[in-house]
Chains A and B, each alone.
Chain A
Amino acid sequence: MSTDAPVPFFTGAASIRADWPALEARLRTVAESGRFTFGPLGRELEQAIAERTGAKHAVAVGNGTDALVILLRAAGIGPGDEVIVPAYTFFATASAVLHVGAEPVLVDILPGSYAMDPAAARAAITARTRAIMPVHLFSQMADMRTLRELADEHGLLLLEDSAEGIDMVMGGRHAGLWGKGGVLSFFPTKTLGSLGDAGMVLTDDDEVAARARRLRSHGQEVDGSYEYLELGYNSRLDEIQSAVLLTRLGTLSAEIERRAELADRYDRQLAALAPVVQIPWFAETAEPGNPVYYVYLIESDRRDELVEFLTAHGVGTEVYYPRALTEQPALAQLPGAQHPVPVAVAASRRAVGLPMYPDLTDQQVDRVCELIHRFHKETP
């Protein structure tokens, strides 16, 4: 490979090619059975994810956003309720709360973990607060022991937007299982990614699971009964995506190890640029967590210029996230968007994700690092 070949922000084509024989066999089963919407492979995937995460129930749905909406409904969140969420996350964390008729209250995050600041959450609790929903981003979990204690102290539900959290564990518990339930997203670029939209609800709670199953199927207790117990959604996981995910599960552990190697390679080459460039670091939590590099996120004083430079040299990046949720036009006017969130706002100006996926080569990491060094040398 030429040294200045482009480095895409994401590609998974080589991984899928390597997995193709196993995947093809599963896809033939799907096509020949004619069952394309949630069916036997979806149930097999639920079983496999439940085993991997230790969740009592895994409920497959159409995507991670639907998983949040269904989790919130299944947990009984609705009109009149406030749900505390971090101001630095993907939009769906807050929109899901709005979709069930409740109000998101956006609070600040901690540096390092980019996760909900327990002190900020505590300060935002009102008589109407029903739940706290932290998010686990990029490579590490929120401080769940502390948040668990906060929720218990105030009699609040603890829910998790663990969309990025596959294989993240803290204190022996998988992400999503510290409270009433969590979610997984299998968006194609995720640590466990499909080839289209796919998601899951995780819970140890029998009632939440039963209700989530009902809600994903238009409120039917039994699929095909045409008896609708409550207002539900059409949120089925396609069997093709289940075939992809079941196949990709076989290499997930090795891929997560590879991600750690790549992160380490980045770290070693970029550490010297501190403090102008800040490599990922792990915030202190009441119980230790394990790093799982879904996104390799750095911060830079000159983020936007750096992104422009890397783009010009064929390196893909993604700015996670360019705005705090309090700055989103769709949310800014909400009563719950009025808390100051300086750490979230600073992160939105400084953070950027570099290429991070199992198909990435050592040489590509070296090239990205070399370019970042060059940017700082040439344009001091």
Chain B
Amino acid sequence: MTTTVSYHDWDNRYRDWTEEVLDAVRQVADSDEFILKSRVAELERRVAERTGAAHAIAVANGTGALTVILAALGIGPGDEVVTPAFSFISTASTVALRGAKPVFADVDADTACLDLAAAEAAVTDRTRAVLPAYLFTTHPDMTGLAELAERRGVALVEDSAVGLGATVDGRQAGRFGTAGVYSFFPAKPIGGAGDAGMVVTDDDDLARDIRMLRNHGQDLGVRFLHHKVGFNCRMDEITAAFLLQRLPKLDGFLTARRQIAEEYQERLAHLAPDLLTPPDGYDHRAVYTYVVRAARRDELKEFLAGEGIETVVYYPKPLHLQPAFAYLGHRPGDFPVAEQLAREALALPLHPDMRPGDVARVASAVERFYRGAR
């Protein structure tokens, strides 16, 4: 079966951006400035301006962004960080790699994000931070989590990797807590030309420490003077040069994605309860992946594949049941919503340059699946 609707459609994603890629490489080669130089500084300024953050600090990727924040907060052995049982691996692996304990909490069935009450219940005397993640097209209850973190006196680290450009309750994604992160992984709404990430924070001391930690713990003025056991977690100038071209277009990318999500929503909402669409109201959200829930997910995926439609399962296994976290001793049943989502979630193709009719093609195929089944 030939593919009629590709999930990522990489072949067409950046076709119109070839000249910008070439230009970024040529500029950087001619300037002899390669890493953490003027283009990176300019991108940091633009992101700080856009988000209203006092500091934007460019790093190598979204995972690295979480790592340097946790290290700057001094989180390590003996500490606990409350984080969702259903997420990308980095929200928990970065905690564990600092020597701290990721304490999983269940997620909300509608948003698939960290559940506020579950997070509250997971906070102990050893909790140093709460680390919620934005997923798909949704976000956690950030206002509630910020209040929780404040009341319990712990840091709030916001994994808003997919959220640049979104607002939650009128506030910019990434700006609720101690620090937030953005990822520029190519598949993200504002994709870069390679891996790249950004930390935003209003905390001057934290920002200074993160600037050191991303570059081997080096003094910010004196080369080869290392104050901290830092990382190599730097943004390349090529990626920054390319992102400087992309950033002004972000709102357009987001609008295009929201329209696609809304079209799916209109076409598919009536299939409830067999198929559940994400929460309504895309106006201010960052739409990354369009994830529906279906009790017969695997059959649906197979049916769509037969129709030439690629889909992806985010995520097939919740974090607490991953082999990497076996040492924490969790069992099936510990976080039922996370486990249910792992069985039911399915991402349909969504990217801003889908061909006209692609959404309708996918939606019709989904409808056919359920009609045939009745």
Q: Which residues of A contact B (CB under 8 A)?
A: 8, 10-13, 16-17, 20, 23-24, 27-28, 30-37, 62-66, 91-92, 95, 98-99, 101, 188, 195-197, 218-219, 225-234, 236, 238-241, 244, 319, 321-323, 328-331
Contacts and interface: CB of A to CB of B under 8 A. Distances in A.
Given A234-B61, A330-B217, A64 B194 contact: no
A10 B21 CA distance: 24
Contacts of B230: 95, 330
Contacts, number: 185
Contacts of B238: 195-196, 238, 240
Kindly name the residue among A20, A37, A101, A219 whose own CB sees the greatest number of chain B CB atoms within 10 A: A37
B93 A197 contact: no
Interface string B313-349: 1111100001110000000000000000000000000
Contacts of A27: 21-22, 25
B315 A226 contact: yes
A20 B238 CA distance: 16
Given A12-B32, A196-B237, A319 B93 contact: no
Nearest to A8: B32
Contacts of A196: 28, 34-35, 194, 236-239
A330 B224 CA distance: 11
Interface stretch (B10-18, B260-268, B299-307): B10-18
Interface stretch (B41-49, B150-158, B185-193, B283-291): B185-193
Contacts of A24: 22
Given A33-B11, A231-B97, A238 B194 contact: yes
A17 B64 contact: no
B252 interface: no
A234 B317 contact: no
Nearest to A68: B232
Contacts of A322: 223-225
> Which of B185, B239, B322 has the most chain A CB atoms inside 10 A of its CB?
B322
A183 to B, nearest CB: 12
25 contacts: A12-B29, A13-B29, A20-B26, A31-B15, A34-B13, A34-B186, A35-B10, A62-B60, A91-B218, A91-B224, A195-B25, A195-B236, A197-B232, A218-B90, A218-B93, A219-B93, A226-B314, A228-B89, A230-B324, A234-B63, A236-B61, A239-B194, A240-B194, A321-B224, A328-B225
Contacts of B236: 195-197, 238, 241
- Which 3 A-B pairs rank lowest in CB-CB distance, beginning with the nearest? A196-B236, A238-B194, A34-B10
Nearest to A229: B323
Nearest to A218: B89
B74 to A, nearest CB: 14
B25 A197 contact: no
Contacts of A230: 323-324
B234 interface: yes
B373 to A, nearest CB: 27
B89 A219 contact: yes
A197 B35 contact: yes
Contacts of B317: 226-227
Contacts of A17: 29-30
Given A228-B324, A330-B217, 7 more contacts: A34-B11, A101-B99, A197-B232, A228-B89, A241-B236, A328-B225, A331-B226
A226 B317 CA distance: 7
B316 A226 contact: yes
Given A188-B34, A323-B225, A36 B323 contact: no
B358 interface: no
A330 B227 contact: yes
A231 B93 contact: yes
B225 A329 contact: yes
A34 B15 contact: yes
B18 to A, nearest CB: 4
Contacts of B30: 13, 16-17
Interface centre among A27, A36, A323 (most CB of B within 10 A): A36
Contacts of A329: 225-227
Contacts of A66: 232
Nearest to A325: B226
B195 A236 contact: yes
B195 A227 contact: no
Contact of B193 (A62, A228, A240, A321): A240
Contacts of B12: 34
Contacts of A231: 93, 96-97, 324
